[in-house]
Structure 1
Amino acid sequence: MLSLLAARRSGCDEPLRVRRAESTRRVLNLELNSDRDVERIHGSGINSLDIDPVEQKFMLSGGSDGVIAIYDLENATKKLQYTCKAICTVGRFHGREHKFSVETVQWYPCDTGMFTSSSFDKTLKIWDTNRLLPAEIFSFEGTVYCHHMSPIAMNHCLIAVGTKIPKVQLCDLKSGSCAHILQGHRGEILSVKWSPRHEHILVSASADSKVRIWDVRNASGSLIVLDQHNGEIAKSSSESANTAHNGRVNGLCFTSDGLHLLTIGTDDRMRLWNSSTGKNTLVNYGRVCNGSRKNLKFTVSNGCSPDFAFVPVGSCIAVYDIYTGQLLTELRGHYSHVNCCTFQTYFQELYSGGSDVNILAWIPDLARIDVENDDPKGCEVRTSQNAIFQDEWSSSDDEN
């Protein structure tokens, strides 16, 4: 890090590289923060979390009890120990609340004046944040598992919705109606994600083991069906062709630049795909245990080099290097299954929610330095550091 700062000061390096190095250092030092609590509001498991993309200050949570809460993450007290308070809730006696489990919550990408929520009660609700009243309600025939709004769209206001019915439904906020239906899956739609790079590109994952990439301007069908074998499987083989996983696919997440797509299935595998060509990059993450029957909400870092994936695995959060597949660490603190996590980009913080009704804050501990003594006599003391921050320089003395 010192060499990067020196290079930046002398004008030999660009500011972005220094920022990425610091962001990476912070992520690699994430740990459960004992000084920051999140007020307990929900009476049962937390299913979904989302931090507003504008100020990175307010966090939404949706629970199995049908409750939605909005938290202020800013430390207004300026004290070391503080609790993130819920500034408002949509609870059981609100009158317009969801009747069953809230599965997905998401802020409107442009400001915090609106947010969306979907539930097992077969509805998607568009909320006015200031009044805490639904401005629009979309009803569906089947149970709603997930929904997603494009983070970059300028030419449309579509919300993609995945339900028990094997069709991706697109709801238009401008007209207040279901604008379009994408057909091709043969099982319930467990996850949908818009590309952060192209506003008309949508990805859907289903219980039929398939992941489809759509251009919503094209009515003829999906552009690409992801194939875990990259087309190399023989036609006479008993294995199914054009399947992304050997089980239900219930997790999708784009990398921050939109160039790659991560998928997770109930076959206990996570795969990395080239989002342009649909090719499996064949990165081996090992076994990623996934016993969830619903949408598994995992997330990725932003502004780091390399990027990291934060994946709920049982009662912990596994942190992977996206491009090598290396398991870097496991964040432990929940007492039961972790259902969701969300990344705070400005300060490289992580928030997670689980079936233990807790929302935990994982904060970079920059004071933590691991010291290893390689010499039993204590003559040398070496400070261990990640290879990312080591100088790419050697001398003839080191080689001898």
Structure 2
Amino acid sequence: MGSIEELRFNWEIYGSFGGRKAIYRNFIDRRLKSLKPSWKHVIPFRSGNASGIASMALDPVEHRFLLCGSYRGNISVVDLENFSQAHPGQPVSHKFIPASNSSNHDFLITTCQWYSKDSSVFVTSSMDQTVKIWDANMMCHVEKFTFENPVDQIHWSVAKSKFPLIAVAQSTSNIQLIDPRGGHALQHLRWKSENVVSVQWSLVNENLLFTGGSHGNISLWDVRSGKSELKTFRNPHKRRSAVMAIRFSPSGNFMVTHDRSRVFDVWDANSLKHKWAVQLEDRRSVHSTMKHLQFELCHDGTRLLAIAPADTEVALLELDSGKPRPALHLLHGHYQGVTSCVYRTTYNQVISSSSDRLVLVWSPEMDEKKPETEEIKENELHQDAWSDEDR
């Protein structure tokens, strides 16, 4: 089995559905453990994003368009399926689509997100105190919302809803809600006891919003009632560390939160009961210039994995084992702090950005085999051509 396409084509020969599923998941495990920097896919840089990428997002429909927001506020899209190749065995040149200069933000991009149902629309937030909704076909913004404070994080609801809202966190007690239909923002919720640094909508209920606070608390809100939060809860260890990110597992069974103390807390998504905590090694730290951490969850294999920045490395950390220090696989390739990670499920690829101004594509080793002619050339370069008489 040399590639994911071959396995998908042939896996029906392996007996029952449960057996096929187990074989498939184990195969994905092997692919994820063999990730290495791709020689085929090199994400191009232009003058607009040469300062480095602070935030990324992969479109949820085709897993094809990589949205990039730079430290300077520039927005660009890389088409991972549209590329040219000068010679076999050489890296491909991906199509790079920059935004119009008049539409770009003024400062660092804190969040990028595609609209969950349409790859022609996306939203961005910035430290320039604005949130913008974009037309991806024209690469210009169509709506702009200005706030009194820098925007730390946003999340556009992905639940089934005719009118999904955008939640905005600004390290204040106010939680802004944007209604794209009316083109206006509503100051709808207020967390009196804490400042909000992270937001995440429920996967299944468009009215339920989770927020992470600056003192380690997590609150659940029903946006139909703006009086107060439905419930506030925190980890059993009572860490007073800002909750920088909240994510739900693809299955919807787990909620995972991450705070500045480098701890991932795993919760039961239905009962909202804390299950266990997983900590990165003490020497791993969050990139100091970022107020939030962009990590993703992967459950394609047998384990639930967090794919997250870990100082200059990318960490693949098991979360569902219940062990405080479970299996950890590190990807080495960046030279400075990693800022964001995305996972491309169709190819089991990880894409990471860093303040070293590199965007790396990590592919399974079996997908990175070079053409036979190129391998022969490389082997010839490394052969010992000296004879005993020459020596």
Task: Describe the SS at the equivalent of 1:95.
Answer: helix
CA drift of 1:109 comes to 1.1
Is the counterpart of residue 333 in structure 1 residue 366 in structure 2? Answer: no
Could you list the structure 1 runs, at least 4 aligned residues long, displaced by more than 6 angstroms after superposition. 4-7
Q: Structure 2 counterpart of 1:51, which letter?
A: L
Inter-partner Cα distance in structure 2 for 1:187 and 1:252:
16
Distance 1:284 1:101, change over 3 A: closer
Inter-partner Cα distance in structure 2 for 1:106 and 1:62:
10
Task: Describe the SS at the equivalent of 1:267.
Answer: coil
RMSD between aligned residues: 2.6
Cross-structure match for 1:272: 266
Cross-structure match for 1:350: 350
Cross-structure match for 1:360: 360
Q: Is the 8 A contact 1:268 1:289 kept in 2?
A: yes
Inter-partner Cα distance in structure 2 for 1:367 and 1:134:
37
Q: Aligned to 2:40, which of 25, 32, 35?
A: 35
Q: Aligned to 2:125, which of 118, 122, 145?
A: 118
CA drift of 1:161 comes to 0.9
CA drift of 1:80 comes to 4.3
Q: Aligned to 1:321, which of 315, 318, 332?
A: 318
Within-5 A mapping of 1:37-56: 37-41=42-46, 42-56=49-63
Inter-partner Cα distance in structure 2 for 1:19 and 1:28:
14
Distance 1:83 1:182, change over 3 A: farther
Inter-partner Cα distance in structure 2 for 1:168 and 1:80:
51
Unaligned residue ranges in structure 1 (runs of 5+): 231-242, 369-400
- Which segment is superposed worse, 189-198 or 284-293? 284-293
CA drift of 1:23 comes to 2.7
CA drift of 1:18 comes to 4.0
Distance 1:7 1:340, change over 3 A: closer
Cross-structure match for 1:305: 302
Task: Describe the SS at the equivalent of 1:22.
Answer: helix
CA drift of 1:186 comes to 4.2
**TM-score, L = length of structure 2:** 0.82
Inter-partner Cα distance in structure 2 for 1:75 and 1:10:
35
Unaligned residue ranges in structure 2 (runs of 5+): 2-6, 369-391
- Which segment is superposed worse, 64-73 or 221-230? 221-230
Inter-partner Cα distance in structure 1 for 2:133 and 2:299:
27
CA drift of 1:279 comes to 1.6
Q: Is the 8 A contact 1:145 1:189 kept in 2?
A: no
Distance 1:159 1:218, change over 3 A: same
Q: Aligned to 2:94, which of 85, 89, 98?
A: 85
Inter-partner Cα distance in structure 2 for 1:250 and 1:110:
26
**TM-score, L = length of structure 1:** 0.81
The number of residue pairs the alignment matches comes to 352
Q: Structure 1 counterpart of 2:358, which letter?
A: N
Q: Is the 8 A contact 1:105 1:118 kept in 2?
A: yes
Cross-structure match for 2:17: 13
Q: Higher helix proportion, which one?
A: 2
Inter-partner Cα distance in structure 2 for 1:367 and 1:162:
40
Within-5 A mapping of 1:1-400: 8-9=12-13, 11-14=15-18, 15-41=20-46, 42-74=49-81, 76-77=83-84, 79-90=88-99, 94-184=101-191, 186-229=193-236, 243=238, 245-287=239-281, 289-290=285-286, 292=288, 293-324=290-321, 325=323, 326-366=326-366
- Which segment is superposed worse, 39-48 or 334-343? 39-48
